Amino acid sequence: MLLHMPRQPVEIQVKHLNDSLEQQQLYLAAEMLDKKQQRDLKKQQKSAQKKREKQDVRIFVLDFKGDIRASALEHLREEITLILSMARAGKDKIVLRLSSPGGMVHSYGLAAAQLARLREAGFELTICVDQVAASGGYMMACVAQTIIAAPFAVVGSIGVVAEMPNFYQLLKRLNIDFDVYTAGEYKRTVTVFGENSDEDKAKFEAELQQTHDLFKHFVETYRPQLNIAEVSTGEHWYGEDAIKLNLIDKLQTSDAYLLSLLPDYDVYALHSRAKPTLAEKLGLTAARLGANMVNRALPHVADYAQNVLAEGLNGRLRGPKGLPMVLERFWQR
C-alpha cells in the first residue's frame, strides 16, 4: 500500500480496455471475416487510436463492491491515491462501478470522503450502478457529478437503522444479574443484557436521528437538485423511478456507458488485490498441474473403460492374467 501499513502486500493491476477490446475483435474477425474485411478492421482500429491520441483524455475505471463493513475501502483509498498522483485534474476523468446495499455509518462515511477527494482535486467523477447503491452505497454515489443506473438498479434508502436483541427478561427468569458500570451520563444507553429504560431508548433514538440529519445534509450538499424531504424517508427506488426524483441522472448499464467511451478516450481499469503468498502460489501451481494431468488422462481412461467392456464381453478377461494385461496396455498409452 502507498500510505498505510498493509496487513498483506497489495498490488494494483492496470488493464487498457481499448487494447483488450481490439484484441478480442481481431480474434473474432479471424474466424468470421475474410482477409479484406480483417484489414479494414485494423485500419479502423488505427484510426480510432489516432483519434484518442488527439483527444488526449484518459478515463480511469474503479470498482467498489461493498459489504456491511465496506471492506473494499482499503483498496479504494489506495487506488484513489495513485490516481491523484498520476492523473491530470481537469482533464482526465474517473468512473466508479459501485455495488453496495450500505452498512456501517463510519465505514461508508470514510468511503464517501475518499471519493470527495477526487472532486476536491478537480476530477469529473461518474458513478455507475448496475444493481444496488442504497443507504451508505447511495452516500458514496451522491458524491459524483453524474450518477448512471440500470433501469432496475436499487438506489436511495436515505435513512438509518439499528437493531439489537435484549435478553433482560430471559436473564431475570434465570435469576442472573447483569450490571453495567459507566462514567458519563450517556456512556451507555441501550444495552443487550440490561434493562432499557424509556430514557435510554429516547436517547438512542435521538442519536439515530442525529445521524440521519447528517446523512441528509451530506446528500443535499452534493445533490442540491434533490427534494431531500421527499427522498429521505428510508425508501428505495428502482432506476426508472429514481430518475424522476433526481436521485440519478441517466438510465444506462455500466457496460453500455464504458463501450460508448472507448472510441474517443483511452480507458484504463484499475484493480487492487492482495499479493498471493509463496504457499498460495505453490498451491495454485500444484492445482494447475493436477488439472492438466487429469485432463490429459481422461481420454485414456475412457479408452481403457471401453477396452475393458469390449474384452470382457469377448471373454478375454477370463483367468488371472486377463486384467493385468489390460492394465499394462493402458499404462503404455
Active-site positions read: 135, 187
Classify each residue of 229-238 as buried b or exposed e, where b means 16 or more C-beta atoms within 10 Å of its C-beta.
eebbeeebbe
d(CA 62, CA 87): 14
Q: Is the distance from CB of 65 to CB of 100 less than 8 angstroms? A: yes
- What the block records as the C-alpha cell of 220 is 443535499
d(CA 195, CA 187): 15
